[in-house]
Amino acid sequence: GESVGLHLPTLSVQEGDNSIINCAYSNSASDYFIWYKQESGKGPQFIIDIRSNMDKRQGQRVTVLLNKTVKHLSLQIAATQPGDSAVYFCAEGRDKIIFGKGTRLHILP
Amino acid sequence: EPEVTQTPSHQVTQMGQEVILRCVPISNHLYFYWYRQILGQKVEFLVSFYNNEISEKSEIFDDQFSVERPDGSNFTLKIRSTKLEDSAMYFCASSVGGSYNEQFFGPGTRLTVL
């Protein structure tokens, strides 16, 4: 079965609102998670990562939350901008990265 | 800012032909990877490479695939006899260290097998 997976294939958010993209994983032993952004025609771009000894990590306008009890992580994007429009992947793995299916984020004007 | 580059951006080939996809990783990176993404699907790990040898490979990476670091800058993926199902975007990635290090991805090569 799939080790990481996203809940929604698409998400539409009003510009300026916060976006929350969710992801579930199945392997309790997973200890490293990454969020990637992929714009059309480009390769995946690292956004933020988190290790399993943490439950929250913040970057610039992004926050990742990890709930090991329910094996769930989320990516929060504050004040969503048109440039945030992309496909977002959650992934896990210290060496080889196992990607989940993406969520396409649409920004509504 | 240093980046991973890949050539060509698009490769069209006939089924059964050999293709070589080229990558130039970031210069001080030591770990190299190939991933592929079939249209509309998720990104899949193919192979990792360190110290001039394969560290790990997936079940996709069968005997038709090989990787090489022919000189100090290039990292190549060869598919010996392409099949229709090899059509995909192929991404090269590199990282300065192994575990827990950020992997930087190139822009990809779109391989179309006819």
Decide: residue A6, CB within 10 A, 0-12 exposed, 13-18 middle, 19+ buried: buried
List the one residue out of B38, B49, B41 whose CA is nearest residue B93: B49
Q: How far is B107 from chain A (nearest CA, A)?
A: 5
**pLDDT tens figures, B65-74:** 999 998 888 9
The average pLDDT across A35-62 equals 95
Contacts of A49 in chain B (CB under 8 A): 100, 102
Indicate the SS3 state at residue A21: strand
The Cα–Cα gap between B110 and B112 comes to 6
Task: Please state the rounded mean pLDDT for residues A61-86.
Answer: 96
Q: Do A43 and B108 touch (CB under 8 A)?
A: yes
Q: What is the pLDDT of residue A94?
A: 84
B5/A78 Cα distance (integer angstroms): 31
Q: What is the pLDDT of residue A8?
A: 82
| Alpha-carbon gap, residue B26 to B32, rounded angstroms | 10
pLDDT tier, B62 (very low <50, low <70, confident <90, very high otherwise): very high
- Are A48 and A35 in contact, with CB atoms under 8 Å apart? yes
pLDDT per position as a tens digit, A49-68 = 999 999 999 999 999 999 99
Mutation to test the B interface, candidates A49, A97, A98, A103, most B Cβ within 10 Å: A97
